Structure 1
Amino acid sequence: MSATRLELSDVSKSFDGLAVLDRISLQVRHGEFVSILGPSGAGKSTLFQVLTGGVARDGGQVRFDGAALGDNSPFAFMPQRDALMPWRRVVDNTTLGLEVQGVSRVAAQARVTPLFAEFGLDGFEQHYPAQLSGGMRQRAALLRTVVQDRPMLLLDEPFGALDALTRSGMQRWLMTMWAQHNWTALLITHDVREAVYLSDRIYTLTARPARVMREFAVPIPRSRRDLASAEASQIEAEILHTLLNQQQDP
């Protein structure tokens, strides 16, 4: 079994007396793709803010590779929207994270340029974001994220704004890229089918204050991932049943 990369133990967070996260515990192992599912407003994005240092947790522990999480973040974070700057060309958008870290623009471009073909952006380096399709913008945003070469990806509903057909294509592309690069990833999504397709394991959360309800394994080999299969449909139905029953409880 792979070593644990990220471990959360009893992580809690409140805002002005309103409990948002209530003793969240979960693990992500090296090379795993793990998803978090839960109702809107449950606190999933707050959990990512805790991990990236945007807010301080009230209690609990966060450990990465066995050590307490320090000031040097091990995470590359991709938000819900692509957040590309409209006045910067695509190549300059993809280097932005590196430049913020102090890498020179020339060095950053040298690191990014060889990846454009792999990310389906070859020939679009000098375009502006408005000239790209939604899927291409998301690929540019993911390139900006992964080129920072952090140990782990945090993906906050990266495909939520895309149409169904584009989203499906991006999911397949992300699975291919994840396998090629052996990324470790934690995904927030509202889409049960997306979680089943992409994940090794899935955590479901309650409504606010968020608690881990259940952990689901997805034991379908990547080579046989098919959302029309009986195995995938059974896992999806079980997750939906868990989430819907939780919402109906008084």
Structure 2
Amino acid sequence: MTPKLDLQGVRKAFDATKVLDGISLSVREGEFVSILGPSGAGKSTIFQILTGGIEADGGAIRLDGEPLMSRQDRFAFMPQRDALMPWRRIIDNTTLGLEVQGVPRRAARDKVRPLFAEFGLAGFEDHYPAQLSGGMRQRAALLRTVVQERDMLLLDEPFGALDALTRMGMQRWLEAMWKRHRWTALLVTHDVREAVFLSDRIYVLSTRPARVLHEVPVPLPRPRDAGAEGLRQASAIEAVVLESLLNPEATEGSNR
């Protein structure tokens, strides 16, 4: 089966600093894949290339089997912070991506409003971002992202700024939403537990210049918080990922 997204040998340097050193990875339709690595490894640089912010220096990127080139608008991108505009009500923050695409504000509101209940935001349409909790703001940001109905979600450490308890709750919520909608998603994170909890597969990157150390499958049943046996299996996979990060020479290029 042709991958939804396929990167082969992608390279990037900024002046004399090499950031990506031949990154190869793929994401299949309806799959949740994570890119995990140390801070500064170039994870977010991959997203900048995919969304057209910068150009790769080499390698190939294909979406649905065709060269990506100018097709960056096929991605819906959610950044590390919610990026909600404080002067816009939540209903108008969630319609922003549609409005940028040229959808009239009234039509955009009509499209977004029925989703507020599913995203746990019913009754908060006319609130301002400052009136919402961190978790609610992130749900609003994800609603703004997915309502654009792009082919694929790019999630750049979306819960990194949240406290531990809120982050755990958001991870469970996101897994349930993904299971319901089967979005094709690529997540950047440095949180091993988050990657294992959410993903079907994990690509572990080295320090800069980044290369793929290890591709780790996550063959756990969903939902992921399914009792003691599920926790034991998740812990075993977390150990594999941590070993890849702590002992890269022993695991580079391997699959388990």
Q: Which category describes the TM-score, using the shorter chain as reference length?
A: over 0.9
Q: Which moved more, 1:66-75 or 1:117-126?
A: 66-75
CA contact (8 A) 1:227 1:233 kept: no
Alignment partner, residue 66 of structure 2: 67
Tell me, in whole angstroms, the C-alpha distance in 1 between the residues paired with 2:41 and 2:174.
25
CA contact (8 A) 1:6 1:29 kept: yes
CA contact (8 A) 2:78 2:155 kept: yes
CA contact (8 A) 2:197 2:224 kept: no
Tell me, in whole angstroms, the C-alpha distance in 2 between the residues paired with 1:223 and 1:153.
20
Of 238, 241, 244 in structure 2, the residue corresponding to residue 242 of structure 1 is 244
Alignment partner, residue 32 of structure 1: 31
Deviation digits for residues 79-135 of structure 1 (CA, Å, limit 9, x no counterpart)? 000000000000000000111111110111011000000000000000000000000
Matched, 1:50 2:49: yes
Q: Determine helix, strand or coil for the equivalent of 2:4.
A: strand
Alignment partner, residue 204 of structure 1: 204
Alignment partner, residue 17 of structure 1: 16
Aligned partner letter, 1:68 = P
Q: Determine helix, strand or coil for the equivalent of 1:60.
A: strand
Alignment partner, residue 170 of structure 1: 170
Q: Determine helix, strand or coil for the equivalent of 2:38.
A: coil
CA contact (8 A) 1:193 1:227 kept: no
Deviation digits for residues 178-216 of structure 1 (CA, Å, limit 9, x no counterpart)? 011110000001110010010000000000000000100
Aligned partner letter, 1:59 = G
For structure 2, the 5+ residue unaligned runs are 251-256
Alignment partner, residue 124 of structure 2: 124
Tell me, in whole angstroms, the C-alpha distance in 2 between the residues paired with 1:27 and 1:53.
18
**1:147-186 to 2 correspondence within 5 Å?**
147-186=147-186
Aligned partner letter, 2:136 = M
Alignment partner, residue 4 of structure 1: 3
Deviation digits for residues 216-242 of structure 1 (CA, Å, limit 9, x no counterpart)? 000111145448622111100111111
**1:49-128 to 2 correspondence within 5 Å?**
49-72=48-71, 73-128=73-128
Tell me, in whole angstroms, the C-alpha distance in 1 between the residues paired with 2:49 and 2:23.
11
Tell me, in whole angstroms, the C-alpha distance in 2 between the residues paired with 1:54 and 1:225.
37
> TM-score w.r.t. structure 2 length?
0.94
Runs of 4+ displaced beyond 6 Å: none
For structure 1, the 5+ residue unaligned runs are none
CA contact (8 A) 2:192 2:241 kept: yes
Alignment partner, residue 194 of structure 2: 194
- Displacement of 1:70 in angstroms is 3.4
Q: Which moved more, 1:228-237 or 1:15-24?
A: 228-237
Q: Determine helix, strand or coil for the equivalent of 1:222.
A: coil
Aligned partner letter, 1:160 = G
Tell me, in whole angstroms, the C-alpha distance in 1 between the residues paired with 2:123 and 2:60.
45
Alignment partner, residue 216 of structure 1: 216
- Displacement of 1:244 in angstroms is 1.3
Aligned partner letter, 1:221 = P
Q: Determine helix, strand or coil for the equivalent of 1:240.
A: helix
Identity fraction in percent: 70
> TM-score w.r.t. structure 1 length?
0.96
Tell me, in whole angstroms, the C-alpha distance in 1 between the residues paired with 2:79 and 2:34.
15
Change (3 A) 1:135 1:247: farther
RMSD: 1.5
Aligned partner letter, 1:52 = T
Deviation digits for residues 4-31 of structure 1 (CA, Å, limit 9, x no counterpart)? 1000000000001211001100000000
